[in-house]
Amino acid sequence: MSASSDPRLIYVADPMCSWCWGFAPAIADIRAAFQDRIPVHLVMGGLRPGTSQPMDARSKTETRSHWDHVHEASGQPFDFGFFDRDGFVYDTEPAARAVVVLRRAGHDLAMAGLMRIQRAFYAENRDVTRAEVLTELVAELGVDAGQFRDAFDAEAARDETLDDFALARAFGVTGFPTLIAARGADGPFAIATRGFCPAAPLIPALGAWFGVPAEAAATR
C-alpha cells in the first residue's frame, strides 16, 4: 500500500474543549486498538482562540452546564473550583499552540501533550492559558523546557496553529471532538463521529470501514 493511500484517523480537537476531555478515554482506546495500523493525526480545531473578555456569571453558568453533562456522559473528573476564579479569559489558542509545537516531534508526543493539558485544566484547575504553566506540563513529558518555550513564543508556531484552525474549517468541522477516517491524504474519507461517543461502537465501525479484522480491533 502506498503512502498516499495509507489509512489514517484525523482527530480534530481542542485542549480546552470539555467534550474532547470526555472523549479522551475513547481516543486512547481507539489508538490502542489499531496502533500503527491506523495512526491518529491530530489537528487543533480552535474552540475560542483569541478570546479577550473575562468570563462573566452567565458564561460560567453555561460552561458549568457543559461540564456537568460531560461528567455524566463520560465519567471524566472535573475540578469545579475553576468557577470560583475571577477574571479568567477563556483563550484556547495558547494550549492549542503548545500541542502544535509538540506535534513537530510526532503525533504520539502531541497526543500525550493534549491529554496532559486537558487533565491539568479540567481535573487539576490549572491555568493552561499561561505559557509558564504549559512549559511545566510539557516538561513532565520529557520535553526540554527552554527549547519548548523558544518554539512556543516564535511567530512560526502561531502561524502553524492558525493553519490548523483553517484546516479544520476546510474539513467542514464545526464542533469538537470530530474524528475523520481517511484512506490516504487524497483518498476517500468519512466522519467517524461528530461530538462525544464511547469507543465501543466506534472501534468495530472503523475496523469495518478500513477492512481491519474485528478481532484485531478489539478494545483493550
Is the link from the previous residue into 177 a cis peptide, with omega within 30 of 0? yes
Beta carbons within 8 Å of 69's beta carbon, 6+ residues apart: none
CA distance 39 to 31: 7
Q: Is residue 139 part of a domain?
A: yes
User: What global pTM score does this model have?
Assistant: 0.93
DSSP codes, 137-151: HHHTTT--HHHHHHH
Q: For residue 20, what is its C-alpha cell?
A: 474532547
Q: Determine the structural domain holding residue 105 and report its residue range.
A: 49-167
CATH number at residue 111: 1.10.472.60
> For residue 36, what pLDDT is reported?
82
Q: Is residue 82 part of a domain?
A: yes
Q: What is the pLDDT along the chain (220 residues), one digit of tens a residue?
A: 344 468 899 999 999 999 999 999 999 999 999 988 899 999 999 999 999 999 999 999 999 999 999 999 999 999 999 999 999 999 999 999 999 999 999 999 999 999 999 999 999 999 999 999 999 999 999 999 999 999 999 999 999 999 999 999 998 998 999 999 998 766 678 999 999 999 999 999 999 999 886 455 544 4
Q: Is residue 21 part of a domain?
A: no
Q: Is residue 15 part of a domain?
A: no
The closest alpha carbon to 207, from 43, 35, 42, belongs to: 35
Q: For residue 118, what is its C-alpha cell?
A: 486537558
Helices (H), 41-144: 57-74, 93-103, 107-122, 131-139
Number of domains in the chain: 1
Q: Is residue 160 part of a domain?
A: yes
